[in-house]
Amino acid sequence: MTPNATLSRDSRTRGPRRSTSRRIALASASAIVLLVALRLMLAPDPRGELLFARAERLEAAGLARPALRQFHLLAQTHPQSSRAPEALSREAALWLGIARDGETTAFVEAVKAYRTVAKTYPGTQFAGQALLQIGKVSLDDLGDTDAARAAYDEALRGYVNNRAVAAEATLALGLVAQRDHDGKTAQTRFQQVLTKYKPESERCAQAQFGLGSIYETLFRNRDWARNAYETALRSYPKTVWAGKAKERLSMML
């Protein structure tokens, strides 16, 4: 056998061996990648922290729907996690954003998510705020005063010892009554804010302005209205409601 013939045979033998080795190496690398991916997917996440972090990253990237799906998944798969009520609240807020971008049917989805927070996690800091949000969306976006009133009543009953929630719910009930042209109920609610929740200065300022508004438009008593507006201007001078009271006073003059 000639040297050239031997060299040719060796080359033919090494070629398939190299090809086989490359295939084995690629297969091994693919298997390692798959195992790593599976490990990440199946990594212990008892509190839903990985899901929460993933949802936050998606939200920060402006991907609202994928983010809210991750928040929803967290609440479904980790209902006992302290992250669950916050995740549902974040989901609801994302639905609101979608709704206010033009997809108005998303308001209903937001209310559903907030309702789940209030029903499932009543002892958390998110539940009272969820009820307030249900009331606000029902009133301002869905035009359903009955649903708004029911949500605010529930917030007031359930969170009477939470001053911030109770003050907001009481004020909102006054605003609902004002919208329904029920001056007497609105007056009672606004006065309750002023007497029971004095440390909530922003709410008190709005309640004081609200008194002036109902006295002017529902009771048709200009003296009462003027006094209420002047009190708002004097007692809460650094709030937006003082500015509104000043405008009303100038128009009355």
More confident residue, 18 or 212: 212
Domain count for the chain: 2
Q: Which has the minimum average pLDDT: 2-6, 33-37, 42-46, 143-147?
A: 33-37
Q: How many CA atoms lie within 13 A of 201 on its CB side?
A: 9
- Give the pLDDT band (50/70/90) at residue 33: very low
Residue with more model confidence, 9 or 55: 55
Q: What's the rounded Cα separation, in Å, for the pair 87 and 161?
A: 25
Q: How many other CB atoms sit within 10 Å of the CB of residue 93?
A: 18
Domain termination site, one of 144, 159, 174:
159
Residue 90, pLDDT > 90, answer yes
Task: Report the distance separating Cα 75 and Cα 82, nearest Å.
Answer: 10
Q: Are residues 56 and 140 in the same domain?
A: yes
- 223 and 130 both lie in a single domain: no
Percent with pLDDT over 70 in the chain: 82
Query: Are residues 238 and 184 part of one domain?
Result: yes
Q: Provide the residue range defining the domain that includes 174.
A: 164-253
Instruction: Say how far apart CA 180 and CA 174 lie, in whole Å.
Output: 10
In a domain, residue 69? The reply is: yes
| Cα separation, 22 vs 16, whole angstroms | 10
Residue 130 lies inside a defined structural domain of this protein: yes
Per residue in 122-157, pLDDT (tens digit) is 989 999 999 999 999 999 999 999 999 999 999 999
CA count, 13 A, side-chain hemisphere, 138: 22
Structure tokens at 36: 């790593």
pLDDT of residue 119: 97
Residue 76 domain flag: yes
| Res 36: pLDDT | 37
Q: Which CATH number fits the domain that encloses residue 110? A: 1.25.40.10
Query: Which of 159, 178, 201 represents a domain boundary (last residue)?
Result: 159
Mean pLDDT of 26-48: 54
Cα separation, 188 vs 54, whole angstroms:
47
Whole-structure pTM value:
0.80
Does residue 91 sit within a domain?
Answer: yes
Of 128, 159, 190, the domain-final residue: 159
